[in-house]
Chains A and B, each alone.
Chain A
Amino acid sequence: MTWYLVRRIGQSIAVVIGVMILTFILVHLEPGSTAKAVLGLKATPARIALFDNTYGLNRPLPVQFWLYCDRVLHGNFGVSYTAGQPVSTLIAQRLPRDAVLLGASTLLALIIGVPMGLYQALHHGTVRDDVVAGTWFTLYSAPDFMEALLLIAIFSVHFHILQPNFPGGITSIGGLFGDLNAMVLPVVVLAINSVAGFSQYMRSSAIEELAQDYIRTARAKGVRERLILTRHLLRNALLPIVTILGLALPDIVAGAVIAEAIFNFPGMGLLFWQSALSHDFPVLLGATLIIGIATVLGNLVADVAYGILDPRIRHAVA
């Protein structure tokens, strides 16, 4: 386990460096010069030279990359072109709100997806399995922005039950909870996108476990079916879901951009979308770096958790 852990952490560090190289390359792809973007188009050559000198923009690329890493590791992601605030501040304000939104939707998706997958596994190969699979498959395939719009059309425009978007000016997490009504649609839309993945993994994992000897033994000795499901099957079949949670992070984040843009949810996704429309590159690249690192960490934690939860893996790699 220790050796595995060391190797896995080493890989993760390599990937984090890779993500930094990637964002560094993207910074340099940016059309026009950074100095002009910050100082304005009318900046004099002398001021541009001074700016380039101050920020090391006239140094060789490897040196610039080193300076970039140094800045990033000190939490300095640059200053937003449009908001005039440090990118780290903008992101730090929004991350907790995303934790609430994505946490709630993922939880909802698990609450629906896990029992659904179990149900499908127990009725494996019957019409009921096909109907459930078909329904989620269709919902998963339909583009999320359409589902969002249709839900708005039904619940906000037609029935006037739910708010179609967040009121502007929410600054605290408490504000989110103060507006629970507006939370419903974003959470539901994001959950719909994840349920299909979770339920299908749960289904195949449960089918695999149902064929194992320990289930047959439990049935043979007369354990009640409900206990077999909760004590034996569920615990073992849930294991792969842990890994999927880690791997699903990029998809969840990408879905968040669209959902937040539609529902005006004041999170990273909305910030990202608005920055993309206004060409605010420091924010875009800072957010990308954070998302990349979060994904790497998510995968690492999922792998390690998998090892801790499943002794077979722990001992196989030790």
Chain B
Amino acid sequence: MQSPDDAAVAGPVIAAPPGPAPAGGELTTSIGSRNLALHDFLHNKRAMGGCGVVLLLVLFCFVGPLIYRTNQTTVNLGLANLPPGPGNPLGTDEYGIDILGRLMAGGQSSLELGFSVAIASTVIGALYGAISGMIGGIVDAFLMRIVDTLLAVPTFILLLIVSSMFTLNLTAIIVILTVLSWPYVCRLVRAQVLSLRTREFVQASTAMGSTRMRILVRHMLPNTFNIFIVTTTFAVADSIYALSALSFLGLGPPPPFADWGTMLTTGVNDLFDSYPWEVYPALIILVVTILAFRQIGDALNDIASSRSSIR
């Protein structure tokens, strides 16, 4: 986590590069800090590498099944535990289901979960944090204690409790993980908003009669963007991990739901036998996916903090 003060320095106006004077009294908003950050992002090898891997994963999981059609629903014990070979490039599992096809199906749920939780929790967290920070006072103190409460109990612990109470499907897990993830975004955004509140451009905007809504949308949210985009990418990785860990502990959605964690759990029983192909593909793709998202997040974090230190 970078300190909020660090990131607060990167405002849109300061970062405008030297260039021809703006014509007709227009302010330099066309090449703002976000375009420069975008430039940094496009030239960052780690970020681009991570994005490339994510793109390949999306193609693999969503386009792959259209080309490589497999039976993922019926058990066929006659085909159980087949080693990799023609017909089954990665072999089959203990129910005779093709592993390559299962990787694709499992990846769909993992990626859907990761993206949905990340986007939903960012939107909720950023709005809640920004509004709470802008209102301030007792309301802010009360709203923040709610956030602190959710932060005090580990996400994974609460997820385990709820999945012990109810049999969860993917949508339910998305909702729960969103409810548990937004406080992290919220804290960071609020800290940034508190420091933005005292900045001249915000005060100038207030003095010119901007409504709170306008300040929120035009000034607060754009200037916290480089903070919450980092947490968003980390949230994708974290929720994919949470789902796989939940399934690994035997509390994930029931079959025929496919996901990488379940593949690992069933595969692990065979790890010590002689079916390594039932463990390693799921293991490798899970690590690669989480690494890719974490690389993007980390690169974004570097860009955000180096852009603020340039000044």
Interface-facing stretch out of B129-137, B161-169, B222-230: B161-169
Per DSSP, chain A at the interface is helix
B191 to chain A, nearest CB (A): 14
Q: Do A250 and B151 touch across chains, with their CB atoms under 8 A apart?
A: yes
Give the residues from 250 to 305 in chain B that come closer than 8 angstroms, CB to CB, to chain A: 250-251, 264, 268, 271-272, 279, 283, 286-287, 290-291, 294, 298
For B165, the chain A residues whose CB sits under 8 A away are 26, 29-31, 279, 281
Q: Do B164 and A277 touch across chains, with their CB atoms under 8 A apart?
A: yes
**A112 in the interface (beta carbon within 8 A):** no
A117 to chain B, nearest CB (A): 15
For A21, the chain B residues whose CB sits under 8 A away are 149
Q: Do B153 and A141 touch across chains, with their CB atoms under 8 A apart?
A: no
For B298, the chain A residues whose CB sits under 8 A away are 137
Q: Do A146 and B152 touch across chains, with their CB atoms under 8 A apart?
A: no
A267 to chain B, nearest CB (A): 14
For B154, the chain A residues whose CB sits under 8 A away are 250-251, 253-254, 291, 295
B218 to chain A, nearest CB (A): 32
A11-B145, A149-B271 as given contacts; A296 in contact with B287, CB under 8 Å = no
A22 to chain B, nearest CB (A): 6
B30 to chain A, nearest CB (A): 33
Give the residues from 62 to 78 in chain B that come closer than 8 angstroms, CB to CB, to chain A: none
Q: Do A296 and B249 touch across chains, with their CB atoms under 8 A apart?
A: no
A288 partner, pick from B157, B250, B251, B268, beta carbons under 8 A: B157
**A104 in the interface (beta carbon within 8 A):** no
User: In the complex, A262→B244 CA distance in Å?
Assistant: 14
B152 partner, pick from A19, A142, A143, A261, beta carbons under 8 A: A19
For B164, the chain A residues whose CB sits under 8 A away are 275-277, 279, 281, 284
User: In the complex, A288→B264 CA distance in Å?
Assistant: 27
For A275, the chain B residues whose CB sits under 8 A away are 164
Per DSSP, chain B at the interface is helix
The residue of chain B having its C-beta at the shortest distance from the C-beta of A140 within the complex is B294
B250 to chain A, nearest CB (A): 6
B139 to chain A, nearest CB (A): 14
For A145, the chain B residues whose CB sits under 8 A away are 245, 248, 264
**B146 in the interface (beta carbon within 8 A):** yes
B153-179 vs A, Cβ < 8 Å mask (1 yes, 0 no): 111111011111110000000000000
The residue of chain A having its C-beta at the shortest distance from the C-beta of B286 within the complex is A143
Q: Do B249 and A272 touch across chains, with their CB atoms under 8 A apart?
A: no
For B166, the chain A residues whose CB sits under 8 A away are 31
For A261, the chain B residues whose CB sits under 8 A away are 249
**A contact residues, total (Cβ < 8 Å):** 45
The residue of chain B having its C-beta at the shortest distance from the C-beta of A31 within the complex is B165
A157 partner, pick from B160, B162, B272, B294, beta carbons under 8 A: B272
B287 partner, pick from A142, A253, A257, A279, beta carbons under 8 A: A142
A156 to chain B, nearest CB (A): 9
For A22, the chain B residues whose CB sits under 8 A away are 149-150, 153
User: In the complex, A141→B46 CA distance in Å?
Assistant: 15
A143-B245, A284-B164 as given contacts; A253 in contact with B157, CB under 8 Å = yes
For B264, the chain A residues whose CB sits under 8 A away are 145-146, 149
B278 to chain A, nearest CB (A): 13
The residue of chain A having its C-beta at the shortest distance from the C-beta of B164 within the complex is A276
**B5 in the interface (beta carbon within 8 A):** no
**A292 in the interface (beta carbon within 8 A):** yes
User: In the complex, A228→B152 CA distance in Å?
Assistant: 38
User: In the complex, A19→B150 CA distance in Å?
Assistant: 8
**A206 in the interface (beta carbon within 8 A):** no
A276-B164, A276-B251 as given contacts; A15 in contact with B156, CB under 8 Å = no
A18-B146, A279-B164 as given contacts; A291 in contact with B157, CB under 8 Å = yes
For A15, the chain B residues whose CB sits under 8 A away are 145, 148-149, 152
Q: Do A277 and B145 touch across chains, with their CB atoms under 8 A apart?
A: no
Q: Which of A22, A143, A257 has the most CB of B within 10 A?
A: A143
**A121 in the interface (beta carbon within 8 A):** no
Q: Do B151 and A143 touch across chains, with their CB atoms under 8 A apart?
A: no
Q: Do B271 and A14 touch across chains, with their CB atoms under 8 A apart?
A: no
The residue of chain B having its C-beta at the shortest distance from the C-beta of A287 within the complex is B157
User: In the complex, A7→B161 CA distance in Å?
Assistant: 32
**B237 in the interface (beta carbon within 8 A):** yes
**A218 in the interface (beta carbon within 8 A):** no
**A162 in the interface (beta carbon within 8 A):** no
**A217 in the interface (beta carbon within 8 A):** no
**B60 in the interface (beta carbon within 8 A):** no
A239-276 vs B, Cβ < 8 Å mask (1 yes, 0 no): 00000000000110110011001000000000011011
B123 to chain A, nearest CB (A): 23
**A102 in the interface (beta carbon within 8 A):** no
User: In the complex, A285→B153 CA distance in Å?
Assistant: 11
**B41 in the interface (beta carbon within 8 A):** no
User: In the complex, A304→B149 CA distance in Å?
Assistant: 19
Q: Do A141 and B251 touch across chains, with their CB atoms under 8 A apart?
A: no
User: In the complex, A140→B146 CA distance in Å?
Assistant: 29
**A153 in the interface (beta carbon within 8 A):** yes
B2 to chain A, nearest CB (A): 8
A15-B149, A250-B154 as given contacts; A143 in contact with B161, CB under 8 Å = no
For A14, the chain B residues whose CB sits under 8 A away are 145, 148
If A14-B145, A145-B245, A276-B163 are given as contacts, then 12 extra A-B residue pairs at C-beta distance below 8 Å, sorted by A number, are A15-B145, A18-B149, A26-B165, A138-B287, A142-B291, A143-B241, A143-B287, A143-B290, A144-B245, A250-B152, A258-B249, A292-B153
* A-B residue pairs, 10 tightest by C-beta: A18-B149, A250-B154, A254-B156, A276-B164, A254-B154, A15-B148, A292-B152, A295-B152, A14-B145, A292-B153
